[in-house]
Chains A and B, each alone.
Chain A
Amino acid sequence: MQRLNYAAPKTVNEAVSLLAGASGPAKLMSGGTDLLVQLRSGRLKPELIVDLKHVPGLIGIREEAGGFVIGASTPGATLEAHAGLKAAWPGVVEAMDLIGSEQIQGRASLAGNLCNASPAADSVPAMIAAGAVAVVVGAKGRREVPVEAIPTAPGRTSLAKDEFILEIRLPPRPAHSGDAYLRFIPRTEMDIAVVGCGVNVTLDAAGVCTAARVVLGAVAPTAVLVPAAAAALIGHKLDAATLAKLDAAAQAACKPITDKRGTIEYRTKVAGVMARRTAAIAFERAQGRAVKGH
């Protein structure tokens, strides 16, 4: 039987050289909440697990230049407990918080959720809507990549064999801006999103939208940024006509599949519903009102 090795590097360089030098398939581990399930099911058969949690900077949150830098392996519970991050990016924090149970929150991370590359990953649409950037390190050095460029297909990423995400950067918040994330699941907790939606908007003083990013999850092989949905919002307040256009644009962007968690028809309709409801929360927040998300 092929032996499974484990390494817990203490520096970025050590981690990179372990990955670069691995003779067989290697898997990165942050919280391990997806990895261990996949190991057990036999879906993944790596020869090496590289546990990144001991690399300096991989766990923790700091404010920098008006934005936030989140260590790639920082567990969700730590994001949830960070008042400043929660105030600035409630949508991102809530999206992360929706993943699994409180127990999962003790381990699961933004980068793990991103690199697992599930089309239904909750934090990903929220991060993309926020304009988050992943700082990637590898044998060739360091590069900054928009989060949406990391997952390429279900279970696949654009990272090279020797690369991993060091941190996630969230930009500074302009005035009158707000974000939100909602997902639909059959229960109230513990499910995988049937549809997820992240919305990030900036308004002018009169409440008219000047910038927007709308992202849908679980309706295509990867999370999809929907410019047409953003266009439906920009230049408008959130009136009934705008909501109807947003709904239609969201539905038009869907390329879902029918699977055990939902049909094409259902996912498409609910994508419109989620877009409207998420936008409503984001607009409220942009106008300075604290609104409960999910």
Chain B
Amino acid sequence: MNYIVPQSELKIVGTRPVRPDGVDKVTGRATFGADMTLPGMIWGKVKRSPHAHARIVSIDASKALALPGVKAVVTAADFPEIANEEAFVGEGPMNFRDLSRNCMARDKALYEGHAVAAVAATSQAIADEAIELIDVRYEVLPHVIDVEAAMAPGAPVLHEDMFTTGVEPKPAKPSNIAKRVSFTKGDVAAGFAEADVIVEGRYTTQPVHQAYIEPHACVAAVSADGQAQIYSSTQGQFMVRAYSAKVLGWEIANLRSYPMEIGGGFGGKTVVYLEPLALLLAQKSGRPVKMMMTREDVFRASGPTSGAVIEVKIGAKRDGAIVAAREVLKYQAGAFAGSPIGPGCMCGLALYDLPNVEVIGYDVVSNRPKVAAYRAPGAPITSFAIESALDELACKLNIDPLALREMNGARDGTKTHYGVTHKDIGFLSVLEAARSHPHYKAPLQPGQGRGIACGFWFNIGGESSGAVHVNEDGSVSVVSGNPDIGGSRASMAMMAAEVLGVPMDQVRPIVGDTASIGFSFLTGGSRVTFATGMAVTQAAEKVVDQLKTRAAQIWDIPVDAVEWKDGKAWPAGLNAGAFEPLSVAQIALKAGRTGGPIGSEVSLNAQGAGAGFGCHICDVEVDKETGHVKILRYTAIQDVGKAIHPAYVEGQIQGGAAQGIGWALNEEYIYDKNGKLENAGFLDYRVPVASDLPLIEAVMVEVPNPRHPFGVRGVGEVPIVPPMAAVANAVRSATGLRMEHLPISPPKLRAAVDAEAKAG
């Protein structure tokens, strides 16, 4: 069925009820990864490399094992060797050999903080002491941190078996360039020849961490027969099960993975770090093991997203029509291949209808922690460059920056440079909403500036399961296989309640473990409300069919003489007979006599996720003496398809914008000359605090996605794409200075002010 109808025809979807898991979260009862305790539990800790790049000569754990209270030590020698082959998982490539080696260094430590051993002991203090007693001998190797230095001939090579793919002929020598990718459309040389105006720029971004407030944590238990349980804070319990099984060489059926409440992820909890270690320690010790990262571990050893260097060249006619664009992107992958270079190559220019495009991308390893997904992986980086360059183009042409985007914006039927043709997209509606928003016309004071920037993300669908069960008393359980990271239990319950026609509080949504619901790909790609919502909707529809069938049995009339309305079975018209309507509870009461339990589980592979577009408007005030940028006003406009719970959709948009503002202004990784991270903590890795930000207005444009029963599009990732350029463009408007390098931190901006003054 299709519920893409005016809001007035919906009872629950589109309203703002209190989330079903809310009370537990405001009272401290919600149980997150580190809150779990099992009988007999002991503590696991990780020993980490102090070196950015070193050969592991030997590991001697004998002193640690002799310490009273130490129950187990594991090193790479305890893990199976895994073949070097690439699998495709969800949003990106996954190489399980690399995953294994990232969880536990084998032969070489590739970044400061790389795990080299782990211990389990009866107290945290003993585990800490044991870590100190493990004697690891290293041969320190030359290291390389920055992307272009890692690409340079003669750079220290991280992996002797890494030969750049995507180039012909195949290189004879290994390098740090894992692959080269390229996309072309039309003829860029001819396009630039036609251009009246050309802008060029070289932009750089720093790696930034997802900086979820909850550090990674898990508890593992393994019984003597090999049956294991893992409780963890993760974006995917099925991912934890599959990845842990793969890294350990265990059978998936022997592992049961329980999703705990998750304290933020933003993509960063789509891989495993501690789980395989905890499982192996639990197996070796025969005791349940809890492991938690410290905040410093989180920064040193879990994934940020890539830093990058991006060269952009855009040519346009005098009226603003873009005739050619060329982009070269070099993305840091961290210690193992697999930066989001693919989406990086696609997303920046996907917003525009361009005749001639050439994009070349490089995936480059260096001695940094392996990158992990971070909200629209790859897109914010490329869009910082593209949207900044478009702002330059608008300045050069003396065209309103919004008009430039309106003129060149992608619409239905636009064929992208990577081959996909846009369908049912809302970009122009978003631009229209930006133009008509009062913010866009509000006056500015001297010293202030306004910038706009746009962003795109594909959004994904994928494999999901959802179950709806009618309980004996008529209450309804909704089970999904996706950890709830920002309110998805509420939206699952709302869609189910809408279909069933029952009040929201009659529906109790839960997130199932891997043995209580069918396979579901992880929470990521802005897919849960779309794909899992589709499964839940279909399951609820099947339940409605069953309820109608049961009513027909009770009334002894044909099922097609029963209709379902307002949460009750009604006889369909006078001919069906005169019966009082039956509620869910009344039908449930008789379920035993009409065929047994009422419920349905749907597993599907959801196709047709609708792409999302956003446009952000940012006002800043610049203190030119200190280089400090204050965000004065911020409006984020986005096509959200259909907002199931508008407050949580707004929350996604506001949160994404805030993260982007942090990325724009202050967040960065600072390494010393030995390749050690100097700011591995919340004191000097500066995420925005409450007093840094204004209220962030989220404007929801609803262009329904026809391939979802309620018209849903993913919403969580798009909002982090535009902010960096929106801020940079606002700084440009306030000061005349084009800041090409992130973050636009005070020293950098003050230096730019001084350089301009010097140049006169």
| Beta-carbon contact of A190 and B747 below 8 Å | no
Per the 8 Å Cβ criterion, residues 111-153 of B in contact with A are 125, 129
Residues from chain A with a CB closer than 8 A to the CB of B678 are 260
| Beta-carbon contact of A260 and B684 below 8 Å | yes
| Beta-carbon contact of B625 and A273 below 8 Å | yes
For A191, give the chain B residue with the smallest CB separation. B686
For A273, give the chain B residue with the smallest CB separation. B625
Known: A188-B689, A189-B689. A266 touches B670 (CB 8 A): no
Per the 8 Å Cβ criterion, residues 716-760 of B in contact with A are 745-747, 750-751, 754
| Beta-carbon contact of A188 and B746 below 8 Å | no
| Beta-carbon contact of A270 and B684 below 8 Å | no
| Beta-carbon contact of A187 and B751 below 8 Å | no
Interface size class of B (residues with CB under 8 A): 20 to 34
Per the 8 Å Cβ criterion, residues 668-701 of B in contact with A are 670, 678-679, 682-684, 686, 688-689, 691-692
Q: Which of B626, B670, B678, B691 has the most chain A CB within a 10 Å cutoff? A: B626
Encoded as 1 (CB less than 8 Å from any A CB) or 0, chain B from 613 to 637 comes to 0000000000001111000000000
For B67, give the chain A residue with the smallest CB separation. A1
Residues from chain A with a CB closer than 8 A to the CB of B692 are 187-189
* B600 located at the interface, meaning its Cβ lies under 8 Å from any Cβ of chain A in the complex: no
Residues from chain A with a CB closer than 8 A to the CB of B366 are none
| Beta-carbon contact of B750 and A270 below 8 Å | yes
Report how far A241 CA is from B670 CA in the complex, Å: 39
* B666 located at the interface, meaning its Cβ lies under 8 Å from any Cβ of chain A in the complex: yes
| Beta-carbon contact of B689 and A263 below 8 Å | no
Known: A189-B691, A273-B625. A266 touches B750 (CB 8 A): yes
| Beta-carbon contact of A184 and B746 below 8 Å | yes
* A236 located at the interface, meaning its Cβ lies under 8 Å from any Cβ of chain B in the complex: no
For A40, give the chain B residue with the smallest CB separation. B294
| Beta-carbon contact of B684 and A187 below 8 Å | no
Residues from chain A with a CB closer than 8 A to the CB of B745 are 186
| Beta-carbon contact of B689 and A1 below 8 Å | no
Known: A191-B683, A192-B683, A260-B678. A273 touches B689 (CB 8 A): no
Per the 8 Å Cβ criterion, residues 174-197 of A in contact with B are 184, 186-192, 194
* A237 located at the interface, meaning its Cβ lies under 8 Å from any Cβ of chain B in the complex: no
Report how far A252 CA is from B625 CA in the complex, Å: 17
For A263, give the chain B residue with the smallest CB separation. B747
| Beta-carbon contact of A186 and B750 below 8 Å | no
| Beta-carbon contact of B684 and A188 below 8 Å | no
Report how far A184 CA is from B623 CA in the complex, Å: 11
For B625, give the chain A residue with the smallest CB separation. A273
Report how far A179 CA is from B753 CA in the complex, Å: 31
Q: Of A1, A184, A261, A265, which contacts B626 at CB under 8 A?
A: A184
How many pairs of A and B residues are in contact by the CB < 8 Å rule?
A: 52
* A269 located at the interface, meaning its Cβ lies under 8 Å from any Cβ of chain B in the complex: yes
| Beta-carbon contact of B679 and A186 below 8 Å | no
Per the 8 Å Cβ criterion, residues 236-279 of A in contact with B are 260-263, 265-266, 269-270, 273
| Beta-carbon contact of A266 and B747 below 8 Å | yes
Residues from chain A with a CB closer than 8 A to the CB of B125 are 1
Known: A260-B679, A263-B747, A266-B751. A186 touches B691 (CB 8 A): no
Residues from chain B with a CB closer than 8 A to the CB of A187 are 666, 686, 688-689, 691-692
Report how far A266 CA is from B666 CA in the complex, Å: 16
Report how far A260 CA is from B678 CA in the complex, Å: 7
What's the nearest-Cβ distance from chain A to residue B631, in Å?
Answer: 10
Residues from chain B with a CB closer than 8 A to the CB of A192 are 683-684
For A1, give the chain B residue with the smallest CB separation. B129
Report how far A265 CA is from B747 CA in the complex, Å: 9
Known: A189-B689, A189-B691, A270-B626. A262 touches B683 (CB 8 A): no
Report how far A269 CA is from B682 CA in the complex, Å: 26
Q: Of B625, B628, B670, B682, which contacts A186 at CB under 8 A?
A: B628
| Beta-carbon contact of B670 and A260 below 8 Å | yes
Report how far A257 CA is from B579 CA in the complex, Å: 86
Q: Which of B627, B745, B746 has the most chain A CB within a 10 Å cutoff? A: B746
Residues from chain A with a CB closer than 8 A to the CB of B754 are 269
Known: A186-B628, A188-B691, A260-B684. A266 touches B129 (CB 8 A): no
Residues from chain A with a CB closer than 8 A to the CB of B682 are 190
Report how far A190 CA is from B692 CA in the complex, Å: 11
Report how far A191 CA is from B682 CA in the complex, Å: 9
Report how far A266 CA is from B752 CA in the complex, Å: 12
What's the nearest-Cβ distance from chain A to residue B479, in Å?
Answer: 39
What's the nearest-Cβ distance from chain B to residue A197, in Å?
Answer: 12
For B683, give the chain A residue with the smallest CB separation. A192
Per the 8 Å Cβ criterion, residues 131-164 of A in contact with B are none
Residues from chain B with a CB closer than 8 A to the CB of A186 are 628, 665-666, 686, 745-746
Report how far A261 CA is from B747 CA in the complex, Å: 9
Encoded as 1 (CB less than 8 Å from any B CB) or 0, chain A from 107 to 150 comes to 00000000000000000000000000000000000000000000
What's the nearest-Cβ distance from chain B to residue A94, in Å?
Answer: 15
Report how far A212 CA is from B751 CA in the complex, Å: 31
Residues from chain A with a CB closer than 8 A to the CB of B679 are 260
Residues from chain A with a CB closer than 8 A to the CB of B628 are 184, 186
Residues from chain A with a CB closer than 8 A to the CB of B689 are 187-190
What's the nearest-Cβ distance from chain A to residue B129, in Å?
Answer: 5
Residues from chain B with a CB closer than 8 A to the CB of A190 are 682-683, 686, 689
For B665, give the chain A residue with the smallest CB separation. A186
What's the nearest-Cβ distance from chain B to residue A4, in Å?
Answer: 10
| Beta-carbon contact of B750 and A269 below 8 Å | yes
Report how far A269 CA is from B751 CA in the complex, Å: 10
Q: Which of B125, B625, B679, B747 has the most chain A CB within a 10 Å cutoff? A: B747
Residues from chain B with a CB closer than 8 A to the CB of A263 are 747
| Beta-carbon contact of A261 and B684 below 8 Å | yes
For A190, give the chain B residue with the smallest CB separation. B689
For A266, give the chain B residue with the smallest CB separation. B747
Report how far A257 CA is from B455 CA in the complex, Å: 40
Residues from chain B with a CB closer than 8 A to the CB of A265 are 751
Residues from chain A with a CB closer than 8 A to the CB of B626 are 184, 270, 273
For A258, give the chain B residue with the smallest CB separation. B747
Residues from chain B with a CB closer than 8 A to the CB of A1 are 125, 129
For A277, give the chain B residue with the smallest CB separation. B625
Residues from chain B with a CB closer than 8 A to the CB of A261 are 684
Q: Which of B129, B625, B627, B665 has the most chain A CB within a 10 Å cutoff? A: B625
What's the nearest-Cβ distance from chain B to residue A200, in Å?
Answer: 23
For B668, give the chain A residue with the smallest CB separation. A260
What's the nearest-Cβ distance from chain A to residue B52, in Å?
Answer: 17
For B754, give the chain A residue with the smallest CB separation. A269
Report how far A270 CA is from B692 CA in the complex, Å: 20
Report how far A187 CA is from B692 CA in the complex, Å: 6
Residues from chain A with a CB closer than 8 A to the CB of B688 are 187
Residues from chain B with a CB closer than 8 A to the CB of A189 are 689, 691-692
Encoded as 1 (CB less than 8 Å from any A CB) or 0, chain B from 656 to 667 comes to 000000000110
What's the nearest-Cβ distance from chain A to residue B95, in Å?
Answer: 33
Report how far A283 CA is from B627 CA in the complex, Å: 25
Report how far A220 CA is from B751 CA in the complex, Å: 21
Report how far A194 CA is from B686 CA in the complex, Å: 14
B residues with CB within 8 A of A = 125, 129, 625-628, 665-666, 670, 678-679, 682-684, 686, 688-689, 691-692, 745-747, 750-751, 754
Could you jot down 30 A-B contacts, CB within 8 Å?
A: A1-B125, A184-B628, A184-B746, A186-B628, A186-B665, A186-B746, A187-B688, A187-B691, A187-B692, A188-B689, A188-B691, A189-B691, A190-B683, A190-B689, A191-B683, A191-B686, A192-B684, A194-B746, A260-B678, A260-B679, A260-B684, A261-B684, A262-B747, A263-B747, A265-B751, A266-B627, A266-B746, A266-B750, A270-B750, A273-B626
A residues with CB within 8 A of B = 1, 184, 186-192, 194, 260-263, 265-266, 269-270, 273
- 20 new A-B contacts at CB < 8 Å, known A184-B746, A187-B666: A184-B626, A186-B628, A186-B686, A186-B745, A187-B689, A188-B689, A188-B691, A189-B689, A189-B691, A190-B683, A190-B686, A191-B686, A260-B679, A260-B684, A261-B684, A266-B746, A269-B754, A270-B625, A270-B626, A270-B750
Closest 8 CB pairs of A and B: A266-B747, A188-B691, A273-B625, A260-B678, A260-B670, A189-B691, A188-B692, A186-B666
